Amino acid sequence: MKWTTIASVAAVALIGCAQWANAADKPYRIGFMVWDTAQPFYSNMMKAARDTAKAEGVSLDIQGGKADLTTEISLVQQFIAQQVDLILLTASDPKGIVPAVRLANAANIPVIAVNTRVDTSGGAEIVTYVGADDYAFGQIQGKLLAQAIGGKGKVAYIMGTLGMSPQLNRKAGLEDTLKSYPDIKLVETQVANWDSAQALAVTQDFLSKYPEGALDVILDQGPEAVNGANFAVQHDRTDVKFIMGDYPANVRNAILKGTVYGTVNQDPSPQGANAVKDAILWLDGHKDAVPQPNHYLDLPIVTKENADKFPAAWGD
């Protein structure tokens, strides 16, 4: 069994070497697994990735994981079997995807994490991570929160899907920032799974539990609670400010109307474009040109004062 295993690993290595040897003679083939292509946020990220690949003359195959880890792993295995030149990965679970990444590593197929992270403590190796520094994202939200309420008040917090790297790191960044603001209290936290309907239901629950004067801000890790902000205004709960994460068109409109105080703008398009560009640089042998271990993108704050300077990151 031991010799069989060694032979198998050697065979995989030979396949990988042959793949790299032929890379210069053919258009690169890049597989891109996105954990849930139905998420509105990813529409512009995928479009930018496709447009960049087309402009650069490389083949890009985007596959959706249907928000199911088993499917995500299967798609990575499929890319490995197809001997793609590189895999781009937007995974739902930074730890759960590790076995699939290690399989790619064993096949000498480089992996770039895009928008969501891969946990590298378990032996998985990635070229780089392209996207937002979600810890910094949480810090920026914390500073925006303090600005909105003068450093004092009660806050209800809406989070995305538990265990995803944006949820974990944005929460950590927020909590660390709020240590400098002891008069800001997180009175309750609920999960909405990056889903607008769930975020609306959570918002309605908060407004029901906390009467006027008992809550100052509802803070959402993502943009989904914008419908809750509109609901609050319609039901005369203008005592509660709303702060979002991300900057789709409906959040921009709500900021301009004054329904939402502000947000942190994470634009998905540069993530898709830069992921493909970094992949090509790596495959071309220009490894020093790829930012490592992270390729972080800008996270500007948007409020009513400057929203006219920032077009929506996605949506109509």
pLDDT in tens, 11-56: 433 434 434 334 444 589 999 999 999 999 999 999 999 999 999 9
For residue 61, pLDDT over 70 is answered with yes
Going by C-alpha positions, the residue among 244, 154, 183, 196 that lies closest to residue 40 is 196
**Same CATH fold assignment for domains 2-131+269-285 and 134-265+301-309:** yes
Average pLDDT, integer, range 235-250: 97
The pTM for the full model equals: 0.85
Beta pairing, strands 153-159 & 262-264: unpaired
Over its C-alpha atoms, the chain yields an Rg (Å, rounded) of 21
Average pLDDT, integer, range 7-14: 38
For residue 7, pLDDT over 70 is answered with no
pLDDT, residue 26, reads: 53
Per-residue confidence at 122, pLDDT binned at 50, 70, 90? confident
pLDDT, residue 316, reads: 80
Tens-place pLDDT, residues 188-242 = 999 999 999 999 999 999 999 999 999 999 999 999 999 999 999 999 999 999 9
Average pLDDT, integer, range 77-83: 98
Going by C-alpha positions, the residue among 140, 160, 159 that lies closest to residue 148 is 140
Instruction: Give the CATH number of domain 2-131+269-285.
Output: 3.40.50.2300
Please tell me what DSSP assigns to residue 123. S
Average pLDDT, integer, range 126-136: 97
**Under CATH, what is the fold of the domain 134-265+301-309?**
Rossmann fold (3.40.50)
At 136, list the tokens: 């910094």
pLDDT, residue 6, reads: 31
- Average pLDDT in the chain: 92
Inter-residue contact 178 to 124 (CB < 8 Å): no
Bridge partners for 241 per DSSP: 217
Phi, then psi, of 87 in degrees rounded to 5: -120, 125
For 223, the 3-state DSSP assignment is coil
Q: Where are the domains of the chain?
A: 2-131+269-285, 134-265+301-309
Tens-place pLDDT, residues 143-178 = 999 999 999 999 999 999 999 999 999 999 999 999
The residue type of 114 is V
Burial 95-105 (b: 16+ CB within 10 A, else e): bbbbebbebbb
For residue 302, pLDDT over 70 is answered with yes
